[in-house]
Amino acid sequence: DGGITQSPKYLFRKEGQNVTLSCEQNLNHDAMYWYRQDPGQGLRLIYYSQIVNDFQKGDIAEGYSVSREKKESFPLTVTSAQKNPTAFYLCASSRSAQGQSPLHFGNGTRLTVT
Amino acid sequence: GQQLNQSPQSMFIQEGEDVSMNCTSSSIFNTWLWYKQDPGEGPVLLIALYKAGELTSNGRLTAQFGITRKDSFLNISASIPSDVGIYFCAGLQGAQKLVFGQGTRLTINP
């Protein structure tokens, strides 16, 4: 079945370490996104990519980095510069970055930094 | 960043009751989406609305795109235990700039 796969489901890191979250999709979607979700809040956009080798900052990009070397992959690195990295991270994709294509989400990675 | 005003924040109902929730904004959106999220999972798309005034159903779920393009509502009829979860509205303002509401947490007493 086609879908979006995020791994790992749970991730634990020590403060000061960079960590990379994986997101893979086999839907042949052009656009991919990373969102952060904190308790009691809606989703906030970190980065998005409309096409391979191109990406843009979202509303809360500071302390994060991404790459889009392949259409199906959009990894997110949480750097040590991110002041409050513990959160639930959601990856999404959509058929097109233009028009009105709905976003489809993966099942998330819960990152805990101590 | 901009967020939508979603209400109520939480609902406690009896099984079999109908549910209504809504989202409002001061900005115009060209697409409204409704998602459901189960604990520890990603949001799942329930209904997508593309035209002002559009009324769309998906089983027991009905959603409408407000005429002013600044609001949307979601109704669930005859609720069942598996309807429990958090419901999010999201508005799209071109170029995939999706803005989310803060969610409505639905709890159902059997």
- How do residues B26-62 score in pLDDT, each as one tens digit? 989 989 999 999 988 999 999 999 999 999 999 999 9
Compute the distance between CA of residue A68 and CA of residue A72 in angstroms, rounded to an integer: 8
pLDDT, residue B96, reads: 61
Q: Which of A32, A43, A5 is nearest to A92 (CA)?
A: A32
Instruction: Please say if the pLDDT value at position A78 is more than 70.
Output: yes
Q: How many helices (H) and strands (E) does chain B have?
A: 0, 11
Q: Is the peptide bond before B81 cis (omega within 30 degrees of 0)?
A: no
**Chain B partners of A108 at a C-beta cutoff of 8 Å?**
40-42
Instruction: Dump the DSSP string for A92-108.
Output: EEES-SSTTPPPEE---
**Chain A partners of B6 at a C-beta cutoff of 8 Å?**
42
Of A31, A44, A107, the CB nearest to B1: A44
